[in-house]
Structure 1
């Protein structure tokens, strides 16, 4: 680990972060009330139809982000794509508040397309701010992810009570205005994305690093999802048992809550000290292995004495998550061609889509046997931890 000298987060970083927080608050605020709105007296949809439509909203974002990234990289530019995406989302939100099915369908379509334009191009432009100070990339993307969570919490916690008090139409108008406000910080900034220090055909060694990063993201996201089946199973037992003193509503919030101090610590540490990105990925899989090992060893029916073990497992998983997800983005930013960065970042979502489909296909068996899912995750994490150790020894210059 070496000290970072004469490199600081720029003011542009905080403008992009503010923009991202506002957009996240708007999008997740919409998601938090969407089903309730559709089954309310305003639209009177059947619950099954409402949940199916909500499923389209949440699942189609991966495809829309790939399309949005391609448009931003190859046709209109990343910043224009961000602004166009925010404007489309706001128009979509205003359409939804018309209280008609046509308005709902048009509005949802615009929100999906707008979100697809906004997210990958925002990530790309944010990463390019660090092309001349690459040692801060890990801290930068950890900060970005952390503040994204703030926006998500604001949207999900604040919007529903406003809907209960003032009605859905007012809420959709508020969300549309918030989305428009999300582009104000970017309009203040000039388009001054710094060029990388060395440019650049993507060399063989860089291609290897990019491929390794994609494989890491694919495996970690998939194994993480498998581990969550066991975590959800244990949380359900804890929530529905009277012998545990922790309020039922707290159990599902434990992992995000543990991520907060870890993220803050990582942001501060990585802003002043640099360590190899692939070492961080390796540590992420090692911490994931330890977390899954504890989950696997826990009894089928947990007792009060197993709560500390469960909390330790969640803590280790939160540490693993911080060492992988933001680092994947920072490696892609550092080693990929900046012209195609948004497209590459959007492709990192494809494993999530494939793995979600795979888990859904085997959902009945995996949910009936949660220890099997965590065992598969444990084996995968262990194998990849050792693979990374070998990779690091072979590539000492990485």
Structure 2
């Protein structure tokens, strides 16, 4: 691969041919991410249910452990992005990071098919390391397709976000069907088919990027002066050494210790970004301060949004009436397709809405979009509070409130998550965009870890009940609503620190 000495800076991308109004490589990255997310979300819906079924014999006392393991897994998936971003920025470039991450992740997906608990946890650790190399760098490549000030950037990230969610939509439907149809065995055995399918999806992602990377015209090559082959072997060796460290953090240290470690990592990253920003002057310093402030609100959003794979899963399994026409039972895993379905439907509408509002000079600022994300998330929990208070019959609530909850959270997600990805590429110091993107995912990691801890409290020692769910979700509503209103109030100050970035 060519040295990045011939590759243009992110602010000066090559003259790409447009396709549907955006640089053509966007669609290649879209499909690469589609298959990677197919793998991840195909596995994610089954994770807590599999742990309880396989390692606790279906006993509800395993719900708390499963939720905390799930939260720690998601946290480390996103936390390792900080290292993956740095590796791409400074050592092997974005393209090689994506390819290496895809290979490592695929190995992990095949490992978790084995029913041994320690091998299962080790497989999760391998997925974590691979995802850390893959996830921040493909997002950064999307940002590099657009010149500084290109008004299409936010809309490009929204389209890319549709690729993420198209994979997340198809995967639970397919893998849920495979688990229940292909074999007539207990579910803990059928989940092996789920994990096999997701491993294949990860391999497809790798092959798609391998053949499509020529469209990038040199974007994402290794930094100038690096020894490509030697550096790649060094990063591979470091990744192998990282697996047992990640395993110990997830399986032995646990979610509480991990919360402190992630907090310290976040502080260290903030200091690094601020030091670099100070070298570039007061304007860049202010931009980094604004970015880090929004990172903090991102933590809160994901803490409660990511109940989907933990407390919402157990809510669906135990408290939601899933009986449909003719006695057919709606699969728990299929609830995980509501969010991506809503994103695929609503993302174009939201993108068009931002464009229309921009033409009229009334588009909400980035902080206020974040505030809307928090408020929609809060309203979702308000609906659950209503259902658990007024709609309970025989210790169950109707099917529809949980579906609507996922849709409301989706609207909030569209106001926050793709805008956050775009925001990082606009506000981060140019030399550390990958590291800053890793910081974005680190803030998501902290929220995910807290989500597992919170879900564990909702389930308690004996499993989720109507009363425990109502208490936990009431707390969620008030905290999210308060944070959303507060962010709206301080938005003008944050905008001032962003120095005209829209």
TM superposition score category, shorter chain reference: 0.7 to 0.9
Q: Which residue of 1 aligns with 2:346?
A: 262
Distance 1:264 1:173, change over 3 A: closer
Q: Which residue of 1 aligns with 2:292?
A: 211
Q: TM-score, normalised by structure 1?
A: 0.74
328-337 or 108-117, larger mean C-alpha shift: 108-117
Task: Pick from 140, 148, 153 the counterpart of residue 137 of structure 1.
Answer: 153
Is residue 355 of structure 1 aligned with residue 355 of structure 2?
no
Q: Which residue of 2 aligns with 1:339?
A: 431
**Does the aligned pair in 2 maintain the 1:23–1:179 contact within 8 Å?**
yes
Give the CA deviation at 1:143: 1.7
Where do residues 379-394 of structure 1 align in structure 2 (5 Å cutoff)? 379-388=482-491
Q: Which runs of 5+ in 2 are unaligned?
A: 1-17, 184-191, 221-278, 461-466
Is residue 300 of structure 1 aligned with residue 389 of structure 2?
yes
184-193 or 146-155, larger mean C-alpha shift: 184-193
Is residue 220 of structure 1 aligned with residue 326 of structure 2?
no
Give the CA deviation at 1:171: 4.3
Q: C-alpha deviations, 1:276-309, integer Å up to 9, x for none? A: 43343344345455555565566712279x9998
Q: TM-score, normalised by structure 2?
A: 0.60
Q: C-alpha deviations, 1:85-133, integer Å up to 9, x for none? A: 1122234456667898997676554333212111111111122222435
Task: Pick from 71, 92, 96 the counterpart of residue 80 of structure 1.
Answer: 96
**Does the aligned pair in 2 maintain the 1:85–1:115 contact within 8 Å?**
yes
Distance 1:34 1:217, change over 3 A: closer
Q: Which residue of 1 aligns with 2:265?
A: none
Give the CA deviation at 1:64: 2.8
Give the CA deviation at 1:331: 0.9
Q: Distance in 2 between matches of 1:178 and 1:26?
A: 10
Q: C-alpha deviations, 1:25-50, integer Å up to 9, x for none? A: 2333345667899999xxx97757x9
Secondary structure, aligned partner of 1:239: coil
Task: Pick from 201, 212, 215 the counterpart of residue 189 of structure 1.
Answer: 215
Give the CA deviation at 1:13: 0.7
Q: Which residue of 2 aligns with 1:3?
A: none
Distance 1:361 1:321, change over 3 A: same
Q: Distance in 2 between matches of 1:101 and 1:367?
A: 29
Count of residue pairs the alignment pairs up: 384
**Does the aligned pair in 1 maintain the 2:172–2:336 contact within 8 Å?**
no
Give the CA deviation at 1:152: 2.0
Is residue 151 of structure 1 aligned with residue 243 of structure 2?
no
Secondary structure, aligned partner of 1:183: helix
228-237 or 250-259, larger mean C-alpha shift: 228-237
Secondary structure, aligned partner of 1:77: helix
**Does the aligned pair in 2 maintain the 1:87–1:114 contact within 8 Å?**
yes
Give the CA deviation at 1:59: 4.8
65-74 or 215-224, larger mean C-alpha shift: 215-224
